[in-house]
């Protein structure tokens, strides 16, 4: 099935003043918004690339990608979100100087702060309404619990006062198998059903246990494998006897074991490692793919999945450059050997955080990237294009076209996932309920009123 997917990423934001004057983080966030959307301070804004940028709980800037139906488009638009936030920093710091203040603003693409608070990296998959959601969820939970072995971002945490390296940042903050809440009782699968589409045909699969990834490859594999497994589940290709005895305990146990040797208890009494569970899904996915029409992208996902599982079983350090938790662990270990320090050294904690800095001149991931030491999935032009241009095969294109029209005509407008509205005189609302449709006749008519506006997406 052709599928709509999207990611939501909450970013950490902090201000390091030069001097004694400290501004509230709300003020700093306001400057970030000003840098992105001049002359306004909205709490919820859609951009010309079809994405949503807004303030989430706890004064976190949050970026939601536009609707994508291709995993490579999704990677480009997820990385574009980082670039968009980074591009706001110079204007925000200039606003500080205008007020006679000085300091550095930091934006981190991570999932925890120094006080132990967490913020999310949510995944959204449009799925069929006619399948049994609860049956599919039970089958998906073991996959998502163990997927962290290649999608985790890595984190140094203290256990009984001693620092220890964890695979996942979010794992220790998950409390339920399923829940409708995203804050008070965080779950593996969130049951809030907001498809932003025809609710009789579709529902939303909302996954909130994952980490934010800096690695393009990790984003690709994290989302690609989830798309593949969901498709096979919808078609009835289950993995028999895979249910976990205690999924919440399992996700935490997996995260604490970088050797990948810890065994997880299943409901039927068997005990398997996270790697063994992933292999069961991987092998079943190949059987599914062989029964379907050729799908080059999903076949590529599967081959990379198999390669990564083989590497994890041999030596995870083979995946430096590709898997975030491995890359960060390698960086920290290399530094510790050079400086002859231990895990409790404050510089290690700083490296743990700096890996996720979106500023490309100081973020450790970006330092590696600038030296060609990260695995690329999309080219630089695709990311730059995604900063302003939406995917051309989904509803996001209609939204981006509409916003460009409204700005070109200096019209007040309101936009949401499913509707476009021109405010004021000649008020008009355009419904867009089909996320797969990149065309809308009324928006095309509006674009025709602005010379050159309709050709903005030509390559």
Q: Which residues are catalytic?
A: 56
CA distance 133 to 110: 30
Residue appearing with tokens 């810890």: 262
Cβ–Cβ under 8 Å, residues 195 and 169: no
Question: In the 3-class helix/strand/coil scheme, how is 34-55 assigned residue by residue?
Answer: HHHCCCCCCCEEECCCCCEEEE
Q: Are strands 187-190 and 176-179 parallel, antiparallel or unpaired?
A: parallel
Cβ–Cβ under 8 Å, residues 106 and 14: yes
Residues in contact with 419: Cβ distance below 8 Å, sequence separation at least 6, in sequence order: 429, 430, 431, 432
Residue appearing with tokens 């009789």: 200
- CA distances for 141 relative to 1, 171, 219, angstroms: 21, 13, 19
Cβ–Cβ under 8 Å, residues 227 and 73: no
Q: Categorise residue 70: left if φ over 0, alpha if ψ from -120 to 50, beta otherwise.
A: beta
Which run of H or of E encompasses 57? none
b/e sequence 7-37, b meaning 16+ C-beta within 10 Å: bbbbbbbebeeeeeeebeeeebbbbbbbbbe
Angle made by CA atoms 57, 63, 64, in degrees to the nearest 5: 105
CA distance 204 to 219: 19
- Using the 8-state DSSP alphabet, how is residue 214 labeled? -
Residue appearing with tokens 């110079």: 90
């Amino acid at each position: 099935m052709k599928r709509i997917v999207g990611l939501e990423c909450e970013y950490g934001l902090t201000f390091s003043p030069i001097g004694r004057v400290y501004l509230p983080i709300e003020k700093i966030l306001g400057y970030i918004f000003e840098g992105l959307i001049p002359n306004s301070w909205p709490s919820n804004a859609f951009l010309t690339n079809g994405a949503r940028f807004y303030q989430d709980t706890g004064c976190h800037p949050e970026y939601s990608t536009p609707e994508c139906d291709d995993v490579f488009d999704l990677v480009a638009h997820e990385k574009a979100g980082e670039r968009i936030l980074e591009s706001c920093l110079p204007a925000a710091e200039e606003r500080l100087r205008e007020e006679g203040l000085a300091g550095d603003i930091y934006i981190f693409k991570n999932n925890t702060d120094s006080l132990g608070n967490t913020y999310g990296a949510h995944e959204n998959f449009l799925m069929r309404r006619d399948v049994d959601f609860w049956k599919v969820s039970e089958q998906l939970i073991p996959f998502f619990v163990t997927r962290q072995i290649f999608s985790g971002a890595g984190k140094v945490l203290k256990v009984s006062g001693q620092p220890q390296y964890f695979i996942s940042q979010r794992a220790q903050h998950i409390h339920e198998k399923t829940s409708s809440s995203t804050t008070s009782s965080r779950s593996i699968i969130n049951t809030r059903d907001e498809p932003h589409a025809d609710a009789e045909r579709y529902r939303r699969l909302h996954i909130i246990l994952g980490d934010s990834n800096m690695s393009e490859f990790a984003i690709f594999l994290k989302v690609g494998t989830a798309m593949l497994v969901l498709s096979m589940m919808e078609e009835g290709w289950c993995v028999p006897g895979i249910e976990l005895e205690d999924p919440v305990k399992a996700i935490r146990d997996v995260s604490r074991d970088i050797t990948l040797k810890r065994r997880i208890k299943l409901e039927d009494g068997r005990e398997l490692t996270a790697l063994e569970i992933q292999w069961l899904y991987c092998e079943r996915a190949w059987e599914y793919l062989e029964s379907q029409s050729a799908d080059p992208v999903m076949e590529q996902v599967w081959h990379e999945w198999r390669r990564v599982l083989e590497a994890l079983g041999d030596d995870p350090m083979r995946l430096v450059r590709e898997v975030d938790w491995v890359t960060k662990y390698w960086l920290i270990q290399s530094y510790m050997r050079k400086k002859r320090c231990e895990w409790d050294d404050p510089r290690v904690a700083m490296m743990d955080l700096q890996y996720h800095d979106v500023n490309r001149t100081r973020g450790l991931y970006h330092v590696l990237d600038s030296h060609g030491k990260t695995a690329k999935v999309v080219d630089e032009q695709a990311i730059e294009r995604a900063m302003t241009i939406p995917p051309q095969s989904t509803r996001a294109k209609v939204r981006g076209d509409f916003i460009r029209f409204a700005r070109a005509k200096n019209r007040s407008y309101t936009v949401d996932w499913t509707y476009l509205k021109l405010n004021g005189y000649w008020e008009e609302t355009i419904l867009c309920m089909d996320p797969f449709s990149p065309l809308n006749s009324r928006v095309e008519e509006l674009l025709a009123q602005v010379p050159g506006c309709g050709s903005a997406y030509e390559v």
